[in-house]
Amino acid sequence: MRLQLEYYDHNESFAKVLPVAGEVARSLQSKDGGEWVLFQLDVPVRYEGIPYEYFLLRSRWRNTVIGGKEPTSVFILLVRDMHDVQDGFDVHNFPHVAWGMTQVL
């Protein structure tokens, strides 16, 4: 699934790297039972001097999934190495950088 990710709130300095487009590489579940997607960017971004090719995204809205008909507000976590993201991952191991809005492309 292809998505557009735009800035929504929580970190104005991060807004400079958005919007971005990319693909959902896979869906997975965190240790606390949250449903997340690993989002692979079409073009890597640099934030605070570090390049990122992946973000973890999760809907902020109850009963709303990423990829639905309407745009969805999401939590954005930074992923330095995609191999660190496995089912049962701990969300505390990935920095929560901002809130975004996703829509299907």
Domain ranges of the chain: 2-104
Instruction: Say whether pTM exceeds 0.85.
Output: yes
- Beta carbons within 8 Å of 31's beta carbon, 6+ residues apart: 88, 89, 90, 91
Structure token digits, residue 66: 């990423």
Q: What percent of the chain has pLDDT over 70?
A: 100
d(CA 28, CA 39) in angstroms, rounded, equals 11
pLDDT band at 13 (very low <50, low <70, confident <90, very high): very high
Q: State pLDDT tens for residues 43-73.
A: 999 999 999 999 999 999 998 999 999 999 9
